[in-house]
Amino acid sequence: MGWLVQIGMLLAAAAVGVAVPLQAGLNGQLGRALGHPMWAVLASITVTFLITLPTIASLRLPPPHLGSAAAQPLWVWFGGFLGIFIVIGGVLIAPRLGAARFVASVVAGQMLASLILDRFALAGYPARPLTVWRLAGALLVVVGVIAMQMAPSSAERPASGNAAIGTSHNSPRTRP
């Protein structure tokens, strides 16, 4: 893979990273407006479904290979559960931790899981060695998460609304 392609892929991955706290915040805000975070989860999954169908149609993809999928071990279907777990986690946890602390914790979990997935070639990933550099990078991420958690709680203030995005965190329908 050429360096230009690698840079493009890294930038695309960074764009996905931008989406994580934004999605969690918007879904949290929607959950408060709808009266419960689980309604935001349902709305998020529904919008995803409604966007995916026309995307598949516009790409003119052939029908899925259901026979091949049925022959796979049951654990490959766990990805759908994980998708909902990620959305629910974002809706319930991100508003309480704040964007930076939430994302730092998510990245630390992703980094540690990724090292294990790569080392043991799990979930379809090719085997990659666990090197000193990779361990050092993961350690730096974990230290960063710890540093993010050390902020004194007195420095935190209640979130206010953002006119560009929508209503305040203190809407009358907010539940404890």
pLDDT tens-place string over residues 125-167: 999 999 999 999 999 988 988 888 886 665 555 555 544 444 4
**Domain co-membership, 114 together with 90:** no
**Domain co-membership, 23 together with 81:** yes
Q: Which domain holds residue 115?
A: 98-151
**Dmax of the chain from CA atoms?**
57
**Domain co-membership, 79 together with 114:** no
**Domain co-membership, 86 together with 37:** yes
**Domain co-membership, 114 together with 48:** no
Query: What domain count does the chain have?
Result: 2
Task: Name the token pair of 76.
Answer: 């490959």
Distances (CA, A) of 63 to 4, 50, 66, 68, 71: 33, 18, 8, 12, 17
**Within-domain flag for 6:** no
- Model pTM? 0.74
